[in-house]
Amino acid sequence: EKRIVPYEAIGEAKLNELVDAFYSKVANHPDLQPIFPSDFTEIARKQKQFLTQYLGGPPLYTEEHGHPMMRARHLPHEITPTRAKAWLRCMSEAMDEVKLEGPLREGFFSKLVLTAQHMVNTPDKPL
Ligand code: HEM
């Protein structure tokens, strides 16, 4: 029985395209832009490494940065439910843009929804 590795099905080129499309949206999103640096080079590089292993590819992130412990690494940043929603919206739009479709997209996106929810560490400010 062959197991499908999402990373192999998507491919390195498309994953890189996706991450670049994603951060151009993050850079322009009013809820997200304030908590990100203006230069996305390093975060995009790390995200490509992370998503590679997240999708079953080689453990590039861990090799360079150690255990991912993503929730802990996000604690210095105020991740609110609104920001998690905005992050997922940017990702969904980036997936549209690079034409990542079908079950591969659905599986990847559902996993990201759970991870994004897990990153939330701050309540939304009341109006
Ligand atoms: C780093 C925001 C969810 C993966 C960061 C940084 C911010 C951030 C502000 C630090 C940027 C910097 O100054 O270098 C958010 C927000 C999220 C979210 C608002 C909404 C839920 C996620 C999810 C993933 C992820 C779902 C993975 C699936 C990463 C990675 C890094 C990072 C790999 C780099 C960590 C490192 O420094 O080694 N994120 N993030 N983030 N985020 Fe997120």
Per-residue pLDDT of 80-113, as tens digits, reads 999 999 999 999 999 999 999 999 999 999 999 9
In a domain? residue 67: yes
Domain span at 19: 6-119
Using the mean position of ligand 1's atoms as its centre, give its distance from the Cα of residue 8 in Å.
Answer: 23
For the chain, the domain total comes to 1
Q: So what's the pLDDT on residue 56?
A: 98
In a domain? residue 125: no
**87 pocket-lining for ligand 1 (C-beta < 6 Å):** yes
What's the chain's Rg over C-alpha atoms?
15
In a domain? residue 40: yes
Mean pLDDT estimate for the chain: 97
- Residues of the chain with pLDDT > 90: what percent? 94
Which residues neighbour 78 within 8 Å (Cβ) at sequence distance 6 or greater? 35, 121, 122
pLDDT of 2 over the 90 cut:
no
Q: So what's the pLDDT on residue 4?
A: 86
In a domain? residue 51: yes
Looking at residue 39, which CATH number applies to its domain?
1.10.490.10
Q: So what's the pLDDT on residue 6?
A: 97
Using the mean position of ligand 1's atoms as its centre, give its distance from the Cα of residue 1 in Å.
Answer: 35
What percent of the chain is helix, strand and coil (3-state, nearest 5)? 65, 0, 35
Per-residue pLDDT of 43-89, as tens digits, reads 999 999 999 999 999 999 999 999 999 999 999 999 999 999 999 99
Tell me how far apart the alpha carbons of residues 34 and 83 are, in angstroms, rounded to a whole number: 11
Q: So what's the pLDDT on residue 110?
A: 98
